[in-house]
Amino acid sequence: MPPLRPSTTTIRMLLGMVRPSAGTVTVLGQRLGPGTGTAVWAQVGYLVEAPSAYPDLTVRENLRIAARLHGLPGRGHVDEAIDRLGLAAYAGRKAGKLSLGNLQRLGLAKALLHRPRLLVLDEPANGLDPAGVVEIRALLRELADTGTAVLLSSHLLAEVARLADRVGVIHHGRLLRELDAAQLAAEQRRTLHVAARDNAAAAAALRAGGYRPRAVGGFVIFGVVTIWVFGREFSDRTAKDLLALPTSRTAVVTAKFVLITGWCLALTAQLYVLGLLIGAGLGLPGWSAAVAGEGLVRLLAVAAMGVVLTFPLALAACAGRGYLAAVGAMFLAVFCAQVIAALGYGHLFAWSVPALVSGVAGSEHVPVGTIGYLSVVLVGAAGALGTVGWWHRADH
């Protein structure tokens, strides 16, 4: 059996399917335990994980069996559930022939068949098309408005925000936050990634409009290139073959760094040309040869620093014998760069320098001086020399 998500495990405990290792569970005012009667479950409807049905029976027959288990007389409840979930066209079709979306509708119909006081749902929108999601959303809202308590588990935060009156956030089995829908909407943060011909001017305009621009992308993209170039031999298990070649290991490492530098600068040039073409196509004002030249010089300088700052990631990829350690180091550097720049010391921290030079970090920061540029050079040199040294001692 595959491991369950924390929310699914919690729901299974609420429904008495598994016992909690500690604590108690109370549903509709009744504590669950070995002596729990059937009265409480007659008031609960649920759909947990994948919906289940008898594959060789039709939709109507599956619902009739569920109605019998609930002790519901006549066919009125079955017909109502079929109409409510839009299953009339599939009532005579075998459940094993249903699409995932219609199978989900059948599961919901079975959960609502006996008109429960409490409805427990785990990812009810799974497999539904956009129109189906809207229908289920309206149905759940109608149930809530008529007095049915709905407990909904979902990883789709936007869908939760549209439906829920109160939201709980569970992470690794712990309830981190509980807040109402208005608080959730107020605490959401949206981000938009943009690229501009003049990053400094774009950042100033965004800041004047009340936005908070952050420099992202360049170091991460270059870092991915470096990690792949130096980590692929360990992922492909060809590192020993490369070490056995009758070629200077310094030459091998140097060739890799040259490849990385050329690759990253080519990506930078492509971005620059694309920006010029888009600007010309849209007829943006303010273009001149002087502006284009100044932007190109600044872009190349920032790109060169970005490439140099990825050199320690090469050492991390080699020492970690793969991608994982280097990716962790890359994101740690990005995080530290953002925090240290926000504290006002970015001009002294190597990984914050490119954002300050490009102007994306704003003009209110201390300008980059000799120490900042020297830190970039020293970090790059340490990464390159460390990588060469590791390769010379890789056999040990």
Query: Which residues in 108-220 belong to E strands, given as ranges?
Result: 118-122, 149-153, 166-171, 174-180
Summarised one tens digit per residue, pLDDT across range 37-62 is 777 888 888 888 778 889 999 999 99
Relative orientation angle of helices 370-392 and 249-282, to the nearest 10 degrees: 140
State which fold the 6-155 domain adopts.
Rossmann fold (3.40.50)
User: What residue segments make up the domains of the chain, in order of their start?
Assistant: 6-155, 215-392
- In this prediction, residue 41 carries a pLDDT of 81
Q: CA 245, CA 120: separation in Å to the nearest integer?
A: 62
Give the residue from 335, 333, 336, 340 showing the smallest Cα distance to 311. Answer: 333
- In this prediction, residue 383 carries a pLDDT of 92
Which has more confidence, 339 or 186? 339
CB atoms under 10 Å from CB of 76, counted, come to: 10
CB atoms under 10 Å from CB of 89, counted, come to: 10
> Above 70 in pLDDT, residue 191?
no
Q: CA 131, CA 337: separation in Å to the nearest integer?
A: 44
Strand order in the sheet with 149-153: 44-47, 118-122, 149-153
Mean pLDDT of the region 323-335? 88
> Mean pLDDT in the chain?
80
Mean pLDDT of the region 364-380? 81
Give the range among 93-97, 185-189, 305-309 with minimum mean pLDDT: 185-189
Summarised one tens digit per residue, pLDDT across range 251-301 is 888 999 999 999 888 888 887 787 777 767 766 666 667 767 777 787 788
> Above 80 in pLDDT, residue 380?
yes
Per-residue confidence band for 163, with pLDDT thresholds at 50, 70 and 90: confident
- In this prediction, residue 1 carries a pLDDT of 35
Q: What percent of the chain has pLDDT over 90?
A: 10
Q: Phi and psi of 199, rounded to 5°?
A: -65, -35
Mean pLDDT of the region 198-217? 57
Which has more confidence, 197 or 106? 106
CA angle centred on 7, ends 3 and 12, rounded to 5° = 80
Give the residue from 57, 138, 128, 39 showing the smallest Cα distance to 96. Answer: 57
- In this prediction, residue 385 carries a pLDDT of 93
Q: CA 256, CA 253: separation in Å to the nearest integer?
A: 5
Mean pLDDT of the region 292-312? 83
Per-residue confidence band for 206, with pLDDT thresholds at 50, 70 and 90: low
> Above 70 in pLDDT, residue 4?
no
Contact criterion met (CB below 8 Å) for 302 and 357: yes
Which has more confidence, 221 or 209? 221
